[in-house]
Amino acid sequence: MATEQGRRAAHEQSRAATNRVTQATQRRERTFALPLALTLVLLALLPRTFGLADFLTTDEAYHWIERTERFSDAVSTGQWHATIQTGHPGVTLMWLGSLGLAIERWAFA
């Protein structure tokens, strides 16, 4: 019986030591994970924040900005027939562009 109690005590001590090591490892992983995640987010954002005003394709500056402004004006004045700009799909771009224009107008008003 004393041997059984000794085994139980040794097992409990071993389990407690394992728990302490596990908790220390988890704390160390948490303190390492946050700076790593922030670094990765910053590295991903950096190339995306420079040159936001630059146009990547030739039709952006000449067509889509003007079309989006016309679309936004047509929607805001309720002239639904004027929302049709061209024959190809661009509805998502028009709505997102209109949202961006509304935010820009609100910010600089």
Q: What is the DSSP secondary-structure string of 88-103?
A: S--HHHHHHHHHHHHH
Q: Is the pTM of this model over 0.75?
A: no
B/e letters for 27-51, b = 16+ CB within 10 Å, e = fewer, are eeeeeeeeeeeeeeeeeeeeeeeee
Which tens digit of pLDDT belongs to each residue from 40-78?
Answer: 999 998 888 887 777 666 666 677 888 889 999 999 999
pLDDT, position 91:
84
Average pLDDT, the chain: 80
